[in-house]
């Protein structure tokens, strides 16, 4: 199992990005979470198989139908066995 932390910038708040992200993560068989950040970006943590993480990263570049993604940064991080499911968290 591998894990990533993703920060997405652009018009990604107020456009259902988190709900769509949660759905994408679940469909791809990942566990993790997604949350808004105070600076207007969205942050996600996802873990699972590398191919699924690559697909998730690709999805993050598109986002929800109303999103306008201008940047995506991806950082490899240690997996967290305590994370189950894929949840929407409150703002960081």
Quick one: pLDDT at residue 86? 98
Question: Which of 5, 26, 36, 37 is flagged as catalytic?
Answer: 36
Fold category of 2-85 in CATH: Alpha-Beta Plaits (3.30.70)
Q: What is the pLDDT of residue 26?
A: 98
Q: Is 50 among the residues known to form the active site? A: no
* pLDDT confidence tier of residue 20, bands split at 50, 70 and 90: very high
Strand partners of residue 69? 10
Residue 18 designated active-site: yes
Indicate whether this model's pTM tops 0.75: yes
Q: Closest by alpha carbon to 7, among 58, 60, 51?
A: 60
What are 32-56's pLDDT values in tens digits? Answer: 999 999 999 999 999 999 999 999 9
Distance CA 6, CA 35 (A): 11
Choose the catalytic residue: 5, 11, 18, 27: 18
Residue spans per domain, the chain: 2-85
Residues 40, 49 contacting (CB under 8 angstroms): no
């Amino acid at each position: 199992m591998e894990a990533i932390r993703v920060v997405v910038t652009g018009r990604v708040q107020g456009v259902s990005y988190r709900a769509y992200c949660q759905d994408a993560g679940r469909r791809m068989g990942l566990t993790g979470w997604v949350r808004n950040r105070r600076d207007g970006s969205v942050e996600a943590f996802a873990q699972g198989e590398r191919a699924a993480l690559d697909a998730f990263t690709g999805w993050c570049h598109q986002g929800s139908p109303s999103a306008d993604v201008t940047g995506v940064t991806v950082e490899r991080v240690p997996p967290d066995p305590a994370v189950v499911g894929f949840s929407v968290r409150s703002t960081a």
